[in-house]
Amino acid sequence: MTLSQHRGQDVIALLFFRAVHTPVGTQKMCRAGKEISALDDAVVYGISADPPYAQELWAAANHITVSLLSDHDLTVTKAYDVVWPDFGGLAVAARASFVINHRGVVTYSEKTKSLGDLPDFVQLQLAVESAVADNP
């Protein structure tokens, strides 16, 4: 599965989070599932370096409906330039959000100042709504 498979059809909200089983990550993905996924023609993906089995267990335990992607080697995280470089000696994904329109163009991006911050869900939702409205 690649994001380019959505080109010409869907608006993508790509939400990076540090790890499963974190309070802020759980809150972010739960809110995204309720607030962003409910929009027609918008597809939401959460992405972290956790293995798929850990993501699946966490999602089931927390009723997370967002599709989760595993970026174990941080390839995508690095491509979007949202690596949090030093989390106890580990590189992890920063808390970041991107909206990609149906043409594959990033129309919104946000990287929080700390790993403990949630994204601005009002601005994120407005960006998704705007991208959806621009979708022919």
Question: Percent of the chain, pLDDT > 70?
Answer: 93
Do 50 and 70 meet the contact criterion of CB atoms below 8 Å apart? yes
Which residue(s) pair with 44 in the sheet?
Answer: 13
Do 106 and 100 meet the contact criterion of CB atoms below 8 Å apart? yes
Q: Tokens standing for 65? A: 């409906």
Distance separating alpha carbons of residues 93 and 127, to the nearest angstrom: 22
**Is residue 88 very low, low, confident or very high in pLDDT (cuts 50, 70, 90)?**
confident
Q: Tokens standing for 29? A: 């993905």
Do 58 and 20 meet the contact criterion of CB atoms below 8 Å apart? yes
**Is residue 116 very low, low, confident or very high in pLDDT (cuts 50, 70, 90)?**
confident
CATH of domain 3-133: 3.40.30.10
What ranges do the domains of the chain cover?
3-133
Please check the confidence at residue 1 and state whether its pLDDT lies above 70. Answer: no
Q: What is the pTM of this model?
A: 0.90
pLDDT in tens, 36-51: 866 677 889 999 999 9
